[in-house]
Structure 1
Amino acid sequence: MRKDTKIVNAGRHSKWTRGVVNPPVERASTVVFDSVKEMKHATANRGNQVLFYGRRGTSTSFAFQDAMTELEGGAGCALYPSGTAAITNAILAFVSTGDHILMVDSAYEPTRDFCDHVLKRIGVETTYYDPLIGKGIEQLIKPNTKLIFLESPGSITMEVQDVPGIAEVAHQHNCIVMLDNTWGAGVNFQPFDHGVDISVQAATKYIVGHSDVMLGTATATEQYWEQLRENSYLMGQCTSPDDLYLAMRGIRTLGVRLKQHQDSALKVAQWLQQRDEVETVLHPAFSSCPGHEFFKRDFTGSNGLFSFVLNRGNQAAVNALLDGMHHFKMGYSWGGFESLILANHHVGKLRTATSFSYQSPLIRLHIGLEDSDDLIEDLRQGFERLNQTLNNQ
């Protein structure tokens, strides 16, 4: 099936839908059995989408797991109550005291905090690496390196990584390759075609798409699926069937939503390129974005998330820009139908292996489904406030 057809049909096997269009919401804690034989059968097959106990899942979760596996590839998908839970539990499923991991220096801040606090406390060493290191990552691999974590594009600064190059080197040293694929959303980047072993998503973002559900997924190859599944179960990870129903519904419009996010974001980004207030636009589809060549090679599209760096600005001026917005709201998430804006004055402080090239404030935008001309007008007025504040200082 082609991509759009797959999006419509993923997870809709008749054993889950039972004759209706969408898999029903099936809530359960206790599962009861009619005989010892039936109970033993369920126990023996409890990891294989058989009703056993509510935490193992119901037909609603099984359908969503199938859908994500069909979209991203791999052998199976584990579910978590948030994207952060997916990242942390997927890492914990494979590391032990004394192990070493390599973490991209542009990673999502909670991922970095997890490494610096939780992994450090249990005796797992983390080394941060340049997101543009490519095959040069081989120089950082130690005898006890267990896992290499990628995030492409990177949070906030949007560097695109050479995923196949890193994966090739990692596998030569028996290292697991784990990718935060939230930006690719399982549609614009196919992780398992590029050497990834475990693909993690904050399904809160584009999979759900409506800013009303917290959800995480981790999809793994056959080699790592059982270990990921069982360790996640032992950590008590499970999700609400009501949330999964909303996520499944979000999948059905994922393709058309991403296309609209992409087209509107490109229009806004192109407008920003022409503004005197903007030093650079960090959008993977633009040559000004580090790793753009890998985006052109490996991705089939983009979405609504990108950043830009101001030519000049300070806290007061940026506050003036943000505080008067009408259509852009301030918030820490992205991937929903609404447009969001977020300022970061100290990107460099989030890094230890690399420096950030720009000194002026960085603005991250998520372009939602509003009319792009209204969003451009909102930003134009914001620049007026920024300039007025700077000129009055």
Structure 2
Amino acid sequence: MTRSRRPDTVLAHAGRHPRANHGMVNPPVYHSSTVLWPTVAAMDQAHASLESGVYSYGRVGSPTSEAFEEAVAALEGGHGAISVSSGLAAVNLALTALLKAGDHVLITDTAYGPTRRYADSVLARYGVEVEYYDPLAGEGIQELFRANTQLVYLESPGSLTFEVQDVPAITAAARTRGILSVLDNTWATPLFFDAFGHGVDVTVHAATKYMVGHSDAMMGVVGAREKRTWLKLKTHAVQAGHCAGPDDLYLAQRGLRTMGVRLQRHQENALKVARWLQARPEVAQVLYPALPGSPGHEMWAHHFTGASGLFSIVLQPASAGQVAAMLDGMELFQMGASWGGYESLILPTHPEKIRTATHWKAAGPGVRLHVGLEDPADLIADLEAGFDRLRAAA
């Protein structure tokens, strides 16, 4: 499946080969660890190759993993993709494969919390110099480059506070110095942000979120724009034992087929809820780049083709007890740490506790929402009841 096809067509067809599988519309699921070879020569060839269609062991790859990876690579327009067991596994694969002791890495200050913990507790322990930077640095990122800077890590929009980074400016600055760029593109997916088209070298996705889309499987995937980078990532994945289970891979393939229509509905619902929230007296600010007037909207409109269902709000000053009263009684917006599934979720946020390069100061407490596929009128009613509880607890 080539990139010349439009994204919705790629989602429906990429990674499927019915004529090679007895006409079955879905790829078969291979439950296998052991691979058998007819000859010593065939065995040696299998162990010497990382290319698709040549198999040595279930952990290294199978037709099931390749079907999903082929579809993701076709959607992104890159050389290839590598499936792993979770979004965090995708993050640590990309960082660990591309960095070594003595290297310097720049990571956006708005990065996903577990990404920060991995960088601080594992990369730093193995001699990598970790530095966080202002997500709005743009081309000014070059002022932070050192002789040993090997990688710039981006996440746009950023976790919890949704700053939109100037990805083309940052990747262009990095490229002039031979520095690789890695982007966590989970929020937008390849449908709504063309990472490789904007100069990114490597993408990471928590495919658990919108790619799977049904809150029933853990999955991560790493994409590479060029073959040499893919080979480096794949080699490390094999050496480190990264892989994904066949049933989770099947669920991820299934989720991809409907990701386009689901994301459109997530965006439609989220905009309705965000506009309603924007007018509420309890809300100081809505942090949703797709919403006119929200921080980063102009950059989002210039670089993105859509938005997902995840955003945050800043409440007017309120106590922790008031926020708890609001959230504890929610019926549709349940508290859960993941997002990207069909269901709506809500969580209190504390970005001020984890930032180090920038200072987060807001009018009041933060709340993150994932707007699911329910009727937005019902979601709004649920939030309205929550605001009633918040005021009653004052």
| Superposition TM-score, scaled by structure 1 size | 0.97
- 1:92 corresponds in structure 2 to 96
Q: Deviations 1:74-114 (Å, cap 9, x if unpaired)?
A: 11111111100100111000111100000000000010111
Q: 1:16 to 1:267 in 2, by over 3 A?
A: farther
- Secondary structure at the counterpart of residue 280 of structure 1: strand
Query: Matched residues in 2 for 1:42 and 1:376: separation?
Result: 56
Query: Matched residues in 2 for 1:235 and 1:355: separation?
Result: 36
Mapped contact 2:275–2:291 kept (Cα < 8 A): no
Query: Matched residues in 1 for 2:141 and 2:295: separation?
Result: 17
Mapped contact 1:162–1:291 kept (Cα < 8 A): no
Q: 1:179 to 1:242 in 2, by over 3 A?
A: same
Query: Matched residues in 1 for 2:177 and 2:294: separation?
Result: 30
- 1:259 corresponds in structure 2 to 264
- Secondary structure at the counterpart of residue 188 of structure 2: coil
Aligned length: 389
- 2:278 corresponds in structure 1 to 273
- 1:135 corresponds in structure 2 to 139
- Secondary structure at the counterpart of residue 118 of structure 1: helix
| Superposition TM-score, scaled by structure 2 size | 0.96
Answering whether residue 245 of structure 2 is matched by residue 240 of structure 1, we say yes
Alignment of 1:94-243 (within 5 A): 94-222=98-226, 223-243=228-248
Query: Matched residues in 2 for 1:304 and 1:16: separation?
Result: 37
Query: Matched residues in 1 for 2:210 and 2:372: separation?
Result: 11
Instruction: Note the C-alpha offset of 1:43.
Output: 2.6
Instruction: Note the C-alpha offset of 1:36.
Output: 2.0
Query: Matched residues in 2 for 1:49 and 1:307: separation?
Result: 44
Mapped contact 1:211–1:335 kept (Cα < 8 A): yes
Name structure 1 gaps, 5 residues minimum.
none
Counterpart residue type for residue 230 of structure 1: T
Q: Percent identity?
A: 52
Query: Matched residues in 1 for 2:152 and 2:18: separation?
Result: 38
Q: 1:334 to 1:16 in 2, by over 3 A?
A: farther
Mapped contact 2:65–2:246 kept (Cα < 8 A): yes
Instruction: Note the C-alpha offset of 1:42.
Output: 2.1
- Secondary structure at the counterpart of residue 285 of structure 1: coil
Quick one: which of 37, 43, 60 aligns to 1:33?
A: 37
Q: Deviations 1:241-260 (Å, cap 9, x if unpaired)?
A: 11000000000100000000
- Secondary structure at the counterpart of residue 154 of structure 1: coil
Q: Deviations 1:188-220 (Å, cap 9, x if unpaired)?
A: 111100000000000000000000111100000
> Which sits farther off after the overlay, 216-225 or 281-290?
281-290
Name structure 2 gaps, 5 residues minimum.
none
Query: Matched residues in 2 for 1:179 and 1:36: separation?
Result: 41
Mapped contact 1:64–1:248 kept (Cα < 8 A): yes
Counterpart residue type for residue 268 of structure 2: D
Instruction: Note the C-alpha offset of 1:356.
Output: 1.4
CA RMSD in angstroms comes to 1.2
Quick one: which of 321, 328, 331 aligns to 1:323?
A: 328
- Secondary structure at the counterpart of residue 98 of structure 2: coil
- 2:58 corresponds in structure 1 to 54
Counterpart residue type for residue 182 of structure 2: M
- Secondary structure at the counterpart of residue 200 of structure 1: strand
Instruction: Note the C-alpha offset of 1:293.
Output: 1.9
Query: Matched residues in 2 for 1:37 and 1:351: separation?
Result: 54
Counterpart residue type for residue 311 of structure 1: Q
Q: Deviations 1:221-278 (Å, cap 9, x if unpaired)?
A: 2231100110111000011011000000000100000000000000000000110000
Counterpart residue type for residue 146 of structure 1: Q
- Secondary structure at the counterpart of residue 72 of structure 2: helix
Instruction: Note the C-alpha offset of 1:286.
Output: 2.2
Query: Matched residues in 2 for 1:175 and 1:163: separation?
Result: 14
Query: Matched residues in 1 for 2:205 and 2:52: separation?
Result: 22
Mapped contact 2:274–2:291 kept (Cα < 8 A): no
- 1:70 corresponds in structure 2 to 74
Counterpart residue type for residue 86 of structure 2: S
- 2:287 corresponds in structure 1 to 282
- 1:292 corresponds in structure 2 to 297
Q: Deviations 1:298-336 (Å, cap 9, x if unpaired)?
A: 111011101110012111000000011111110110000
Instruction: Note the C-alpha offset of 1:349.
Output: 1.6
Mapped contact 1:74–1:219 kept (Cα < 8 A): yes
- Secondary structure at the counterpart of residue 91 of structure 2: helix
Query: Matched residues in 2 for 1:150 and 1:167: separation?
Result: 9
Q: Deviations 1:6-27 (Å, cap 9, x if unpaired)?
A: 1101111347644210101111
- Secondary structure at the counterpart of residue 316 of structure 1: helix
Instruction: Note the C-alpha offset of 1:4.
Output: 1.1
Quick one: which of 12, 15, 27 aligns to 1:8?
A: 12
Query: Matched residues in 2 for 1:359 and 1:124: separation?
Result: 36
Instruction: Note the C-alpha offset of 1:52.
Output: 1.5
- Secondary structure at the counterpart of residue 116 of structure 2: helix
Query: Matched residues in 2 for 1:179 and 1:92: separation?
Result: 15
Mapped contact 2:52–2:66 kept (Cα < 8 A): no
- 1:383 corresponds in structure 2 to 387
